[in-house]
Chain A
Amino acid sequence: MRSGVTATNDFVVKFANVNGSGSASANQLFAKSILRMGIPIASRNIFPSNIQGLPTWFEVRVSGEGHLGRRGGVDLMVAMNPQTWDRDIAEIDPGGYLLYDSTRPMPASRFRSDINVIGVPLTQICNANYTDARQRQLLKNIMYVGALSALLNIEPPVVEQLLAEQYKGKEKLAKPNRDAFHMGRDWALKNLDCPLGLTLERSDAVGDRIYVEGNAAAALGAVYGGATVCAWYPITPSTSLAEAFERHCKRFRTEAETGRKRYAIVQAEDELASIGIVIGAAWNGARAFTATSGPGISLMQEFVGLAYFAEIPAVIFDVQRAGPSTGMPTRTQQSDVLSAAYASHGDTKQVVLLPEDPRECFDFGASAFDLADRLQTPVFVLLDLDIGMNDWLCEPFAWDDSRQLDRGKVMTAEELEAGRTFGRYLDADGDGIPFRTYPGTHPQKGAFFTRGTSRDRFAKYTEVGSAYADNMERLLRKFDTAKQIVPHPVERPAAQPTRTGVIYYGSSSAAMKEALGQLEADGIHLDAMRIRAFPFHDDVLDFIARHDRVFIVEQNRDAQLRTLIMTEGNVDASRLIPILHYDGTPITARFIRAAVADRASALKVVPFAGAAAE
């Protein structure tokens, strides 16, 4: 054994568990107790597509500096799963620590000589104190949190407070948890050298930030955005978004006098029906959405095309995951960019929003409905599993009470009565956006027959080519209008003037910010731009024009955003250098830093003597 890693408020702890064993709440307790000590953390679940018995991991990155991306590497492994023992041991950084249940002796060959091994006889302590099998299992988890509190200096009152909040009014449950925590802690204090080289020190770096998962945040955004109809089909990793919407609605959308619901949620028979219900509801003037993932997006393609051509607002939350239906549903990726942006048959372009964290999931979750109504078109909000299903530390949610829902151009019965011209597909204001009417508005005026295309500006049936082309060109004008009102890109200039830039989006943001700092320290200066929506604002093309070359960091194999930029901006491919991470794990600063440094050195062109003459 060599001397252990030492670090304060800057290390990675990973828990290897068996799913269905009740470890999740203990791990959450561990994570939250660090947050309550004012120390920023980033936590991630790595879990199988399974309910019970398969390996699952929970990773907590403690970062006093506030880095929220995945770091890579493990300083302390809490190895509670014999199935994955060997790979878990292998993952520990040299000098790191292993905490394991030492009830059953393990041969020395199963350990590594370059790590520090800490055995706690968890099962033995549990069995000595509890008789109920389920209790033994659950409290063993809390017990290792107790041991960790001694080893890492987690303040016991913080844990007690969290347990009190969790089991508020249920002292019968709180007490055994509290006892198990102290049992683990006391055993460690008595038998182990505490603390380890890894320690926690109270800080004030968390501030008023909140700790929440993106799916719950997006669902809350949908509540604030005025959504009343949700139709969905269960699919990992989006399921918890629809479920969170129901939870939020129960709380905020129950009519006080009657107890009845100001919302309707339908778990449909498939994704086709989900989006059909959304389109029907939105056509009829309700704000409606669905939540799905890649395979669902594929299934919805035909309907999304109809909504594009028939100009029906629909909000689609796509919590992206890796691969096809039988792929890696529980792993993260940004691989639906193209299938969302060009969703459907015919000439279509869709509005796509790209939130970076739960706070933006909330913001975009709400504004997606305004955009959809304003533009009368589908709006995709692209989360991914990393943002959607993990708790992230982010800015608190905020809402301006003077804000009003923007229902867009809806002609009223009064306007129709006053003789205002209504043409469903008439570009009345030159922005490409026509007026619509809700069904049932006026006895004689404003009714129209909704079709995909094959109609004129007044919704009368026609198959005349010029009418079709006229409509398609108006749709392009509308998309141009969209450019101005979708979230604009955010630029972050380098400390020194540079001709090299980097573009990134979505959940890569945290790792990118960290990598930018590291690269700067390495002497590589990059102007950075975070793209937040498609269609691209003019600033995106300006940014590319201002730089000789631009790295585009993405979590997919085919450089999908790069393709979109090249196609839509007519940008020379050689100037856009892809940095691609696509193994299903969240991208890390280490990866970006290494990839950028590698490409940057490869691209260093030695000026050719004759070139100046040209």
Chain B
Amino acid sequence: MSFLPKPKLHHPKLPVNALGFTRRDYEGAISTLCAGCGHDSISAAIIQACFELDIEPHRVAKMSGIGCSSKTPDYFLGASHGFNSVHGRMPSVLTGANLANRDLTYLGVSGDGDSASIGFGQFAHSIRRAVNMTYIVENNGVYGLTKGQFSATSDKGSKAKKGAINNDEPIDLVGIALQLGATFVARSFSGDKTQLVPLIKAALRHPGPAFIDCISPCVAFNNHEGSTKSYDFVREHNEAMNQLDVILGRDPISAEYAPGEVREVTQHDGSVLRLRKLHEDYDPTDRVAAMHHLHERKAAGEIVTGLLYIDPEPEDLHHHLDTVAMPLNRLDDAALVPGSAALDKVNAALR
């Protein structure tokens, strides 16, 4: 945890993106999390992803619930509006925000306590409602802010720092997201930036409910022997499915992958996702196969990471509700208020 404020000045030759912003322009306040916290790596990955995608920081709304993970939106995208809401209720707040203005990019950051326990219902319903968002769960299998209680994603048999063994079945949010119709489902690891940054980029460009379960070891309460969310355990058991590159229109097409190993998926907005497949038979556009594979690898004791499922042509909540193209928060009085003549007709029908 650092208390030194970062100077605003930066090196004049820092690289800039297409909008003229440097990476520093995507940073936020100084993190107050523990040194080595996986969550800070995820914040760094979000910053990197937004920088590389040339996103205007102020056109992102970052939402969170309560917990260590939910504090992090303060630590990236300082020029964005953020909302640190209520424990487990970020999904509903994000849904409402999205309904009000469909033109912003919505980034929800949550934790395993926030999304798998108190907010399990809201997590599930925001996914099945197909809210256009990027929903990242920073999953450390433990309650950090309240000092080390098991969470609902803690694996059965895993050991708490003080020695207690978890006897309850874990909730796999990736499995739930797949079942409930998320159109982009991925898992990653905070310690694997190479994999995580492209996944966040792809999720941000995905015009539907995009879910990333990001395993993020808690250095204070869940990084010991016997934990299944420690840096060492995850590194040893990580079974990466694929590696992703996100190619925007302006990027030169690189040809570093041998044909046959690469699968390209074009998203609705034209961005191309290039997946270098590590498993030959894996098809990320087959939801049922993804669910099957997830269970199969879990039974083998492996943590599957990578892009598990994508629907390149998703529909979202606004599509289902058939709302107008203009954001609802910009409709003026003339569009909203029917006026006195209409009211006279209403009155006439009530006599």
Contacts and interface: CB of A to CB of B under 8 A. Distances in A.
15 contacts: A210-B351, A224-B343, A228-B329, A229-B99, A262-B328, A281-B100, A281-B328, A282-B96, A284-B100, A306-B85, A401-B339, A440-B103, A443-B58, A444-B58, A448-B81
B96 A278 contact: yes
Contact of B93 (A223, A280, A401, A441): A280
A212 B92 CA distance: 33
Nearest to A449: B82
B81 A264 contact: no
A110 interface: no
A391 to B, nearest CB: 9
B93 A279 contact: yes
A280 B108 CA distance: 12
Contact of A443 (B56, B125, B328): B56
Interface residues of B, number: 60
Contacts of B117: none
Contacts of B333: 226, 404-405
A281 to B, nearest CB: 4
B56 A276 contact: no
A447 B29 CA distance: 13
Q: Which of B328, B330, B338 has the most CB of A within 10 A?
A: B328
Contact of A277 (B95, B321, B351): B95
Contacts of A209: 351
B9 to A, nearest CB: 16
Given A397-B346, A399-B340, A449-B84, A280 B96 contact: yes
Interface in A261-282: 261-266, 268-270, 272-282
B324 interface: yes
A331 B86 CA distance: 33
B336 interface: yes
A316 interface: no
B350 A210 contact: yes
B99 A223 contact: no
B147 interface: no
B347 interface: yes
Contact of A211 (B58, B99, B350): B350
A204 to B, nearest CB: 13
B4 interface: no
Given A276-B86, A439-B101, A450 B81 contact: yes
A255 B324 contact: yes
B270 interface: no
Given A208-B351, A228-B336, A278-B96, A447 B101 contact: no
Contacts of A13: none
B336 A253 contact: yes
A541 B333 CA distance: 37
Contact of B347 (A223, A231, A255, A397): A397
Given A258-B324, A405-B333, A280 B83 contact: yes
Given A228-B100, A228-B331, A220 B346 contact: yes
A458 interface: no
Given A229-B96, A449-B73, A260 B324 contact: yes
A342 interface: no
A487 B260 CA distance: 72
Contact of A280 (B58, B100, B121): B100
What is the size category of the interface that chain A forms with chain B? 35 or more
Contacts of B81: 437, 439-440, 447-450
A91 interface: no
Interface in A378-398: 396-398
Interface string B310-335: 00000001100111110011110101
A85 interface: no
B343 A397 contact: yes
Given A303-B86, A439-B97, 15 more contacts: A224-B338, A224-B343, A262-B335, A273-B122, A278-B96, A280-B92, A280-B97, A281-B329, A284-B104, A288-B96, A288-B100, A439-B58, A440-B81, A448-B82, A449-B83
B190 to A, nearest CB: 22
Nearest to B102: A264
B322 A261 contact: yes
A449 to B, nearest CB: 4
A480 B121 CA distance: 38
Contacts of B91: 273, 276
A170 B73 CA distance: 60
Contacts of A260: 322-325
A461 interface: yes
A439 B61 contact: yes
A440 B82 CA distance: 11
A461 B96 CA distance: 25
A440 B56 CA distance: 9
A274 B121 CA distance: 13
B42 to A, nearest CB: 18
Nearest to A303: B86
Given A279-B96, A283-B83, A447-B79, A440 B336 contact: no
A255 B331 CA distance: 11
B329 A285 contact: yes
A351 B75 CA distance: 35
Interface string A458-496: 000100000000000000000000000000000000000
A270 B321 contact: no
B337 interface: yes
Contacts of B79: 443-444, 447
A400 interface: yes
B114 to A, nearest CB: 13
Interface in B62-105: 63, 73-74, 78-86, 89, 91-101, 103-104
A273 B104 CA distance: 21
Contact of B122 (A276, A285, A405): A276
Nearest to A454: B84
A293 B155 CA distance: 40
A212 B350 CA distance: 6
Interface string A196-213: 000000000010111110
A443 B20 CA distance: 12
A264 B323 contact: yes
B339 A261 contact: no
B24 interface: no
A499 interface: no
Contacts of B336: 223, 226, 228, 253, 262, 405
Contact of A285 (B82, B100, B325): B100
Contacts of B337: 223-224, 226, 399, 405
A438 interface: yes
A252 interface: yes
Contacts of B89: 272-273, 276, 303
